[in-house]
Amino acid sequence: MMTSPRATEPNKSIPEDPLQASHAESGDIDFDDIVAGVFDEPLDPIQLQAPKRVLLPQPDTPKLHKVLAQAGLGSRVDMEKLIAEGRVSVNQEVAHVGQRIQYGDQIKVNGKPVQVRIALSAPRVIAYHKPAGEIVSHDDPQNRPTVFRKLPRVYHGKWQSVGRLDLNTEGLLLFTDSGELANQLMHPRFGLEREYAVRVLGALSNEEKKKLLDGVQLEDGPAQFASLEDGGGDGANCWYRVTINEGRNREVRRMIEAVGHAVSRLIRIRYGAVALPRGLQRGDWMELGELDIAQLLRTASKPIKKSTPLIGAESLYQQRKEDAASKSRKRSPRKATAPSRKSR
Catalytic residues: 166
- How many angstroms separate the Cα of 71 from the Cα of each of 59, 99, 108, 258, 293? 17, 16, 13, 64, 32
Pairing of strands 170-176, 263-271: parallel
3-state helix, strand, coil in the chain (%, to 5): 25, 20, 50
The partner residues of 133 in beta bridges, in order of sequence, read: none
Q: Pick the closest to residue 88 from 60, 112, 55 (CA basis).
A: 112
State the Cα–Cα distance between residues 38 and 27, nearest whole angstrom: 15
Residue 130 contacts residue 166 (beta carbons within 8 Å): no
Q: Write out the H or E segment, with its range, that includes residue 269.
A: strand 263-271
Residues in contact with 330: Cβ distance below 8 Å, sequence separation at least 6, in sequence order: none
Residues in contact with 309: Cβ distance below 8 Å, sequence separation at least 6, in sequence order: 20, 21, 22, 23, 273, 295
- How many angstroms separate the Cα of 320 from the Cα of each of 6, 15, 44, 189? 17, 9, 10, 37
Angle at 22 between CA 16 and CA 25, to 5 degrees: 140
